[in-house]
């Protein structure tokens, strides 16, 4: 029998979190996933790697919550005490699971270690009656223990690349099968080139007469993500409401929407180039290669990305790109003319279909009344000509660099959309 919507608390274990050395990104991940399931986390706490403190916190959380999620401290070393603390809180003995011992041995053998250290066998200890949750990316299996009155404690390892797939494999499906969750549909739209207030004004007619939908704004620096959440009692109706709302938003926002869900601008540009069988090269100054880094974050970028040439000095711009010294001296390196020359030069030098030039003032020094810090010229060149843009960005140096790099890719994206088919 499914119970009411669950009250969930999350406990992170780790001195490293309390000391500020790492951030609890595991929680961020889990909370987002839970929200997509329609569950709001009631509390989020962090305790040190101390058995008694872990036990006390699990006991306290179980006093309020239906489901407690514990992460970290499942490793084989002396500072990994989570399994002991949780077992104490539940008043359960730890039992060694022979299959898990064998599994850990096997994993060690695959990495060429015949004799596994005895210490690793502690990772096969679980509170009696636990369900063991396998970990495809590590030796530390997790576990789920249920209390007599139907509460559940999930314990998962700390490394994010182990925790994330385990959440999707063991926690989300269990919640869906064993707890009554609201019927919910979540859709994301990512926008660039329109500020939050302009965005809000554009969608003033929200929710367009559609029942049961919410709209959230999530600034991304740069850009704003929109999240549509539809709730109701009927799955098909909820999905349809979410899709209708997204369709209306897309109609209104047009080209400002660059992606759905969590797709990056680098991937969007890559997909557009790929579809047009076109190639790209970049000439960067103030972004120092960041635009190139954003595009190479996408797997398979070699199919469409050729080079980013970082030319910082006048000399580099002259020798590597062939920008005339006279132009640099008369207009200044940060100028529309030089941005255009950079885009055209890199495109010709590299023989790519598209060339992008970026030159600006990232600060904090070097600004003037005429050319303030944050001013960045961006040019996009293809065989039909070159467009150039005077853009300005607020923030500290690295923020300006990031905003400029993303804006350059966004301007390229808009050009690609208008170009349509292969160039």
- Residue number of the CB closest to Mg ion reads 75
- By CB under 6 A, what part of segment 128-187 binds ligand ATP? 140, 157-160
CA dist 408 → 81, 193, 247, 292, 378 (Å): 49, 11, 27, 11, 6
Q: Between 76 and 95, how does the x/- string for binding to Mg ion read (CB under 5 A)?
A: ----x---------------
Decide whether 72 or 193 has the Cβ nearer to ligand ATP. 72
Q: Which does 140 bind (CB under 5 to 8 A by kind): Mg ion, ligand ATP, none?
A: ligand ATP
Q: Which does 72 bind (CB under 5 to 8 A by kind): Mg ion, ligand ATP, none?
A: ligand ATP
Decide whether 54 or 265 has the Cβ nearer to Mg ion. 54
For the bound state, the minimum distance from the C-beta of residue 186 to ligand ATP, rounded and expressed in Å, comes to 23
Whose CA is closest to 233, among 155, 177, 180?
180
Sheet of strand 213-219, all strands in order from the earlier edge strand to the far edge: 213-219, 224-232, 183-191, 257-260
Decide whether 13 or 376 has the Cβ nearer to ligand ATP. 13
Q: Are 50 and 86 in contact (CB under 8 A)?
A: no
List, in sequence order, every residue forming a beta bridge with 9; answer none if it has no partner: 43, 68
For the bound state, the minimum distance from the C-beta of residue 80 to ligand ATP, rounded and expressed in Å, comes to 4
- Token reading at 78: 């002396």
For the bound state, the minimum distance from the C-beta of residue 153 to ligand ATP, rounded and expressed in Å, comes to 15
For the bound state, the minimum distance from the C-beta of residue 98 to ligand ATP, rounded and expressed in Å, comes to 20
For the bound state, the minimum distance from the C-beta of residue 155 to Mg ion, rounded and expressed in Å, comes to 13
According to CB under 6 A, which one of 72, 85, 292, 360 is a site residue for ligand ATP? 72
Q: Which does 71 bind (CB under 5 to 8 A by kind): ligand ATP, Mg ion, none?
A: ligand ATP
Q: Which does 406 bind (CB under 5 to 8 A by kind): Mg ion, ligand ATP, none?
A: none
What phi-psi label fits residue 378: left (phi over 0), alpha (psi between -120 and 50 degrees) or beta? beta
Burial class (CB in 10 A: 0-12, 13-18, 19+), 211: exposed
Decide whether 73 or 127 has the Cβ nearer to ligand ATP. 73
Decide whether 66 or 80 has the Cβ nearer to Mg ion. 80
According to CB under 6 A, which one of 9, 24, 306, 353 is a site residue for ligand ATP? 24
Burial class (CB in 10 A: 0-12, 13-18, 19+), 347: buried
For the bound state, the minimum distance from the C-beta of residue 159 to ligand ATP, rounded and expressed in Å, comes to 4
Between β-strands 94-96 and 8-13, what pairing exists: parallel, antiparallel or unpaired?
Answer: unpaired
Q: What is the DSSP letter of 168?
A: I
Tokens 């972004």, residue located: 287
Q: Is 75 in the site for Mg ion (CB under 5 A)?
A: yes
For the bound state, the minimum distance from the C-beta of residue 93 to ligand ATP, rounded and expressed in Å, comes to 21
Q: Is 142 in the site for Mg ion (CB under 5 A)?
A: no
For the bound state, the minimum distance from the C-beta of residue 253 to ligand ATP, rounded and expressed in Å, comes to 34
According to CB under 6 A, which one of 5, 7, 18, 22 is a site residue for ligand ATP? 22
Q: How many residues does the chain have?
A: 423
- Token reading at 214: 């919410």
Alpha helices (runs of H) in 258-368, residue ranges in sequence order: 265-275, 290-296, 314-321, 325-331, 336-350
Interatomic CA distance for residues 19 and 22, integer angstroms: 8
What phi-psi label fits residue 322: left (phi over 0), alpha (psi between -120 and 50 degrees) or beta? left
Q: Is the dihedral of CA 330, 336, 342, 348 positive or negative?
A: negative
Q: Between 74 and 93, how does the x/- string for binding to ligand ATP read (CB under 6 A)?
A: xx----x-------------
Piece of 72-80, 111-119, 221-229, 368-376 that binds ligand ATP (CB under 6 A): 72-80
Q: Is the dihedral of CA 173, 174, 175, 178 positive or negative?
A: positive
For the bound state, the minimum distance from the C-beta of residue 297 to ligand ATP, rounded and expressed in Å, comes to 20
**Contacting residues toward ligand ATP, per CB under 6 A:** 12-14, 16-17, 22, 24-26, 71-75, 80, 140, 157-160
**Contacting residues toward Mg ion, per CB under 5 A:** 75, 80
């Amino acid at each position: 029998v499914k119970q009411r919507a669950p009250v969930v608390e999350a406990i992170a274990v780790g001195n490293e979190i309390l000391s500020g050395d790492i951030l609890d990104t595991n929680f961020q991940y889990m909370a987002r996933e839970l929200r997509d399931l329609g569950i709001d986390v009631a509390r989020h706490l962090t305790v040190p790697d101390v058995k008694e403190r872990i036990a006390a916190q699990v006991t306290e959380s179980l006093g309020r919550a239906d489901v407690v999620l514990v992460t970290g401290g499942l490793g084989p070393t002396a500072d990994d005490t989570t399994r002991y603390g949780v077992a104490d809180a539940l008043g359960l003995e730890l039992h060694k699971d022979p299959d898990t011992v064998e599994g850990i041995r096997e994993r060690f053998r695959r990495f060429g270690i015949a004799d596994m250290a005895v210490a690793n066998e502690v990772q096969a200890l679980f509170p009696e009656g636990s369900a063991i949750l396998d970990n495809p990316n590590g030796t530390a299996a997790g576990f789920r223990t249920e209390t007599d009155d139907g509460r559940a404690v999930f314990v998962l390892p700390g490394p994010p690349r182990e925790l994330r797939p385990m959440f999707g494999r063991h926690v989300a499906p269990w919640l869906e099968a064993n707890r009554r969750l609201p019927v919910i549909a979540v859709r994301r739209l990512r926008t660039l080139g329109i500020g939050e207030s302009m965005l809000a004004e554009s969608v003033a007619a929200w929710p367009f007469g559609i029942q049961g939908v919410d709209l959230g704004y999530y600034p991304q620096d740069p850009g704003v993500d929109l999240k549509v959440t539809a709730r109701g009692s009927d799955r098909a109706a909820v999905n349809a409401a979410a899709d209708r709302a997204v369709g209306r938003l897309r109609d209104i926002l047009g080209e400002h929407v660059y992606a759905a869900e969590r797709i990056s601008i680098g991937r969007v540009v890559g997909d557009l180039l790929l579809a047009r069988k076109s190639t790209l090269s970049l000439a960067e100054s103030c972004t120092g290669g960041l635009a190139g880094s954003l595009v190479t974050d996408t797997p398979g970028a070699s199919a469409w990305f050729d080079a980013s040439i970082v030319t910082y000095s006048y000399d580099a711009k002259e020798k590597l790109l062939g920008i005339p010294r006279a132009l640099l001296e008369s207009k200044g390196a940060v100028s529309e003319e030089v941005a255009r020359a950079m885009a055209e030069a890199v495109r010709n030098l590299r023989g790519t279909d598209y060339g992008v030039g970026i030159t600006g003032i990232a600060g904090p020094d070097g600004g003037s009344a005429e050319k303030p810090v944050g001013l960045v010229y961006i040019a996009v060149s293809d065989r039909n000509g070159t467009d150039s843009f005077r853009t300005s960005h607020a923030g500290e140096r690295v923020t300006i660099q990031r905003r400029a790099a993303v804006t350059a890719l966004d301007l390229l994206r808009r050009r690609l959309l208008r170009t349509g088919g292969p160039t």
